[in-house]
Amino acid sequence: MAECTWAKLSAVMQEYHDTEWGKPEYDDQKLFGLLCLETFQAGLSWQTVLNKRAAFNRDFNNFDPHQVAQMTATDVERLMQDSEIIRNRRKITAAITNAQAFLKIEATGGFATYLWSFVDDQQIINHPKSDAEVPATSELSEQISKDLKKKGFKFVGPTVIYSFLQGAGIINDHVEECPFK
């Protein structure tokens, strides 16, 4: 049975594909963690991020947005020394800025509620014939990207947000023949 070919790149990618990718997520903290990882992925491979996910979870307090929002310049310097994560100062500071903006949305009824409202609480199902037919952006990712930027988020361009929406299960782009669709 055919499945999404990108998942076959490694055991870590296969596990992510089979258990997380495209499955609807409603937990605010998990959504925040995924958004952070997607921002760190910008310009790199998802394989790299998944390989470093345990270290990211450790260094960012399991992506508890309340704790990340309180990180200081001292924390940024400490993280810049940790070779087990992606050491990009702009991305690290973006995670802190994004935590602060995230908490403002969460306080108005929850981040998941905010995010799923863009699709009327309905998953978008595409099921293309091949990975090559999966877009990098969409009108939805552009709309959410623009709104998040207005709310103070960083590193949330339409491509990052499209990938985030796939990971969060808001968009299900498993190929037609994938048994995990």
Among 3, 25, 38, 106, the active-site one is 38
Q: Let me know if 15 is a catalytic residue.
A: no
Q: Diameter of the chain by CA atoms?
A: 50
- List alpha helices for 45-154, DSSP H: 46-59, 65-69, 73-80, 89-106, 111-117, 139-150
46 is an active site residue: yes
Active site residue 6: no
CA distance readout (Å), 39 to 96, 102, 126, 149, 161: 12, 14, 24, 13, 9
Query: Which of 16, 114, 116, 162 is the catalytic position?
Result: 16
Which of these is catalytic: 3, 21, 46, 116? 46
Known binding site: residues?
A: 4, 17, 174, 178
Question: What DSSP element (H or E) covers 125?
Answer: strand 124-125
**Binding site per annotation, positions for Zn(2+):** 4, 17, 174, 178
Active site amino acids:
16, 38, 46
